[in-house]
Amino acid sequence: MTMAQQAAAIRAKTLSSRDATRHALNRLAATEPTIHAFLQVFEDRAMQQAAMVDAGEARGPLAGVPIALKDNICLDHGRTTCASRMLEHYESPYTATAAQRLIDAGAIVIGKTNLDEFAMGSSTENSAFGPTRNPWDVSRVPGGSSGGSAAAVAAGVVSMALGSDTGGSIRQPAALCNLVGVKPTYGRVSRYGLVAFASSLDQIGPLTRDVTDAALALEVICGRDPLDATSAAEDAPRLVATLEAPIPNLRIGVPTQCRSDANHPGVNAALDTTLDLYRSLGATIVDVDLPLTDFGIAAYYIVAPAEASSNLARFDGVRYGHRAALAPDQGLFDLYCRSRAEGFGPEVQRRIMLGTHVLSSGYYDAYYNTALKVRRKIKGDFDRVFSPAGNACHVVLMPSTPGPAFKIGSKTSDPLAMYLEDVYTVGINLAGLPALSMPAGITAVDGAPLPVGMQLVAQAFDESTLLRAARMFEKHTTFAAARPNL
């Protein structure tokens, strides 16, 4: 069942929340030895909450529906580890706003999912607690950094899981696991309770099986939050009510830069198939130019590590986090150095060092300030595509990733190759725009069927258009219904 179907069945009492939750927990137990999507499971608490729903003590649009949260989203119970030894035993005293809104809507959190450590990665191989595997092919990655959330939904454990997206960390695993994944406009969803990676880029969003569930989840978690200074003064949008309305005279911009020989042939074929379907629905396809697409990676991997080096400075072994054991003759400096060396994994250390370097005296203007100028120009390029005086497009369409899921271990020794997996996603975070990855095809790789995703991008705070355009496509395809044989 989808999330919307589960919620409706529980309201109609044709399905009990206890049965839905028990099914999710049984499915988790069956798949977890193979997939490793979860870092924590709240079985007793989840079943108690399900019983309350069945007794009529808890209500809401998602009452009784089991869900999961990425383990960099705080809950006031259990642990919030960020898949790091640094926070292996950290217990948050509060719950993130996005998570609380789902709980207030009646959803039942059955567990916390695996991720690349501190959300830094594109494969969920950087977790201190081991990699997550793709349900479509367990020898391959599920994408990252929200790979645990994606795998949990793709494996049929839950119908919706929250992830976070700093440079593609929702959309990339959605594409590799045949899901819908939405990165909302920056400021649309509160970041309060999301452990910071890069504060000007991070956003929480849902991973679901279809567009309807994505709209339902977004409608619950969006809205102004006084606890988050970057939260936009925008009311929560009504997304579900408008979802089925097609967009008249839909104009879709297709960047010339996304037709690349570096793409897997299956990705290019899915792009053509997607455009053909939109044409058949009456859409106008417009070639557009996003000339700084390739520079987005360079800008992102300056801006994001710079912010990470600042945000992660708080994990020093003194206030909270891992604290190293010291010899009697060692002092505070040794405590800092050893605690951080032992607590942070190689990828996190790499990004902290890179970020500290680009912010240092003599390099700040050459690197960081230059990256900020590129960021502004990337935003300007998107503005021109959407502007009535420019291309006047409703949405931009491009691949979510340059290829399907890759083998575990195939890119870990080459960080640049791993970073290039985000070539189509990072620019959208730099521009602060909403984007959605949707299932768009299945391609064969070494004889195995693997999903391919396409990405839609809309103007800031226009998630309604984004979801409606995706729903127009979804209604005329069967890609979203495909499931892994797990």
Give pLDDT, residue 76.
98
pLDDT tens per residue, range 249-301: 999 999 999 998 899 999 999 999 999 999 999 999 999 999 999 899 999 99
Q: Is the CB of residue 124 less than 8 Å from the CB of residue 142?
A: yes
- Residues 455-482 have a mean pLDDT of 97
* Burial class of residue 402 (count of CB atoms within 10 Å of its CB; 0-12, 13-18, 19+): middle
Is pLDDT above 90 for 482?
A: yes
Task: Look up the CATH number of domain 3-248+461-477.
Answer: 3.90.1300.10
145 catalytic residue (yes or no): yes
pLDDT, position 83: 98
The pLDDT value recorded for residue 69 is 98
The residue ranges of every structural domain in the chain are: 3-248+461-477
pLDDT for 232-256, tens place per residue?
Answer: 999 889 999 999 999 999 999 999 9
Share of the chain above pLDDT 70, in %: 100
Q: Residue 486: which pLDDT band, with cuts at 50, 70 and 90? A: confident
Q: What's the confidence (pLDDT) of residue 235? A: 87
Is residue 58 over pLDDT 90?
no
- Distance between CA 68 and CA 79 in Å, rounded? 14
Which residues are registered as beta bridge partners of 40?
112
Query: Across all residues in the chain, what is the average pLDDT?
Result: 97
Spatial contact of 433 and 460, defined as CB atoms under 8 Å apart: yes
Local structure of residue 389 (DSSP, 8 states): T
Which of these is catalytic: 17, 70, 149, 183?
Answer: 70
Which parts of 281-387 fold into alpha helices (H)?
293-311, 332-343, 346-359, 370-386
Q: Beta partners for 160?
A: 208
Active-site position among 17, 127, 159, 169 = 169
> In this predicted model, what pLDDT tens digit does every residue of 352-385 receive, in sequence order?
999 999 999 889 999 999 999 999 999 999 999 9
pLDDT given at position 106: 98
With a cut of 90, say whether residue 327 has pLDDT above it: no
Asked if 309 is an active-site residue, the reply is no
What are the pLDDT digits (tens) for 27-41? 999 999 999 999 999
Q: How would DSSP label each residue in 17-73? A: HHHHHHHHHHHHHHHHHHH--EEEE-HHHHHHHHHHHHTTS--STTTT-EEEEETTB
Asked whether the beta carbons of 367 and 358 are under 8 A apart, the reply is yes
Task: Judge whether 92 counts as a catalytic residue.
Answer: no
What is the distance between the alpha carbons of residues 179 and 135, in angstroms, rounded to a whole number?
12
Q: Which of 122, 145, 190, 309 is catalytic?
A: 145
pLDDT band at 320 (very low <50, low <70, confident <90, very high): confident
